[in-house]
């Protein structure tokens, strides 16, 4: 065995995204915000519910985006963190009668701990190994939730029913509409937090690790700490998304959180553009509405449609929605000049 065959020059696992390209400009942000605020007034309750789910999945995709687009680590196991968040909320609400709003930070803390601990061994892994470990985590999660000795708390295979909260202070709003605005506030708060996180010292450390781990450690970045931190933050946000999801769907069961969910979230990130935070919501729209349409045509078709579209995205627009947005901007610029 010669020395040459063992030496590998490793290309970065994720293509570098400049920090400025990660967010939207102020003007666009305000327009999107206004649209999100006004829209529910004009639509039916079922559509409001779907918009709530859109925000929730958007949040989960955002969490994965911080992990992969920010720190360059993979996870095919986001469904596990989502499940832990959902179950934390369901158990706290149904067994301890804790207010739904208070369960969110608790779920966040629990998932942060879980993600941080899972990140410890994952630290030593990179690229495909990390994808493998998280893939195994996502596959094993439903079985862990079905465990006998947890059944008293988790309800086993049956799952738990969660009560939907009413609008507080006697506000004249349907439950769905209240939940939508509640979710919107949480999502906006976390979005602002994430943008600031990526602009902070920690965010720069994440990106330095993503682009070149050895160079980052040479510059004095504590690689081990920041890698686990990225895992923890991502898990915490995913957990909060899971909590909101449990409240919105009013039900948690082990088989809602299979590898399929993890794959969907991963797909949402790729479609939205890795490292482009606003793309998360576009990715979420994709993973919610495309299966609905596909199942409308034929049962079981959604996986095939997902897969084919994913291939199209990685061949044609490898940077996902971000690339489309940039192309659109350039086109608009050209039209204006003419």
Candidates 46-54, 99-107, 222-230, 293-301 — which segment interacts with other proteins by CB under 8 A?
Answer: 293-301
Q: Is 318 in the site for other proteins (CB under 8 A)?
A: yes
Residues 164-203 that bind other proteins (CB under 8 A): none
Q: How far is the CB of 256 from other proteins (least distance, A)?
A: 16
CA–CA separation, 231 and 118 (whole Å): 8
Can you tell me which of 91, 187, 263, 277 binds other proteins, judged by CB under 8 A? 263
Q: How far is the CB of 318 from other proteins (least distance, A)?
A: 6
Which distant-in-sequence residues (6+ apart) come within 8 Å of 36 by Cβ? 55, 184
Q: Is 35 in the site for other proteins (CB under 8 A)?
A: no
Q: Is 105 in the site for other proteins (CB under 8 A)?
A: no
Q: Is 37 in the site for other proteins (CB under 8 A)?
A: no
Q: Is 290 in the site for other proteins (CB under 8 A)?
A: no
Can you tell me which of 59, 207, 240, 274 binds other proteins, judged by CB under 8 A? 274
> How is 111-177 classified by DSSP, letter by letter?
HHHHHHHHHHHHTT--THHHHHHHHHHHHHHHHHHT-GGGHHHH-GGG-EE-PPPPPGGG-S--HHH
**Nearer to other proteins by C-beta: 3 or 41?**
3
Q: How far is the CB of 314 from other proteins (least distance, A)?
A: 5
> How is 191-213 classified by DSSP, letter by letter?
HHHHHHHHHSHHHHHHHHHHH-H
**Nearer to other proteins by C-beta: 91 or 270?**
270
Candidates 84-92, 178-186, 233-241, 264-272 — which segment interacts with other proteins by CB under 8 A?
Answer: 264-272
> How is 229-282 classified by DSSP, letter by letter?
HHHHHHHHHHHHHHHHHHHHHTEE-GGGSSHHHHHHHHHHHHHH-TT-TTHHHH
CA–CA separation, 253 and 162 (whole Å): 11
List the x/- string, 125-154, binding to other proteins by CB under 8 A. Answer: x-xxx-xxx-xxx-xx--xx-xxxx-----
Is 49 in contact with 110 (CB distance < 8 Å)?
no
Is 209 in contact with 70 (CB distance < 8 Å)?
no
Strands 160-161 and 251-252: antiparallel
- Contact residues for other proteins (CB under 8 A)? 1, 4-15, 68, 74, 76, 121, 124-125, 127-129, 131-133, 135-137, 139-140, 143-144, 146-149, 214, 259, 263, 266-267, 270, 274, 298-304, 306-308, 310-311, 313-315, 318
């Amino acid at each position: 065995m010669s020395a040459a065959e063992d030496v590998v020059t490793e290309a970065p696992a994720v293509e570098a995204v400049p920090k400025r390209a990660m967010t939207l400009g102020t003007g666009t942000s305000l327009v999107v915000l206004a649209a999100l605020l006004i829209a529910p007034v004009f639509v039916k309750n079922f559509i409001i519910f779907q918009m709530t789910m859109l925000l929730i999945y958007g949040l989960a995709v955002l969490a994965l985006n911080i992990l992969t687009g920010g720190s360059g680590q993979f996870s095919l196991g986001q469904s596990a963190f989502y499940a832990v968040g959902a179950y934390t909320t369901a158990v706290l609400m149904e067994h301890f009668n804790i207010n739904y709003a208070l369960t969110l930070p608790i779920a966040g803390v629990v998932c942060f701990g879980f993600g941080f601990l899972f990140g410890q061994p994952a630290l030593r892994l990179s690229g495909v190994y990390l994808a493998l470990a998280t893939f195994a985590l996502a596959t094993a999660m439903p079985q862990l939730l079905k465990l006998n000795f947890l059944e008293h708390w988790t309800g086993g295979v049956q799952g738990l029913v969660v009560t939907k909260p009413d609008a507080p202070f006697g506000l004249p709003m349907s439950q769905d509409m209240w939940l939508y605005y509640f979710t919107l506030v949480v999502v906006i708060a976390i979005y602002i937090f994430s943008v600031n996180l990526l602009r902070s010292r920690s965010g720069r450390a994440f990106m330095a690790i993503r682009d070149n781990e050895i160079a980052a450690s040479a510059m004095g970045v504590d690689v081990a700490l920041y890698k686990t931190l990225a895992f923890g933050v991502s898990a915490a946000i995913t957990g909060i998304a899971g909590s909101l999801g449990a409240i919105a769907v009013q039900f948690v069961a082990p088989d809602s959180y299979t590898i399929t969910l993890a794959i969907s979230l991963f797909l949402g990130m790729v479609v939205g553009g890795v490292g482009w935070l606003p793309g998360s919501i576009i990715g979420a729209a994709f993973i919610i509405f495309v299966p609905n349409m596909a199942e409308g045509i034929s049962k079981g078709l959604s996986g095939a449609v997902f897969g084919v579209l994913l291939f199209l995205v990685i061949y044609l627009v490898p940077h996902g929605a971000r690339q489309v947005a940039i192309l659109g901007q350039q086109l608009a610029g050209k039209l204006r000049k003419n």
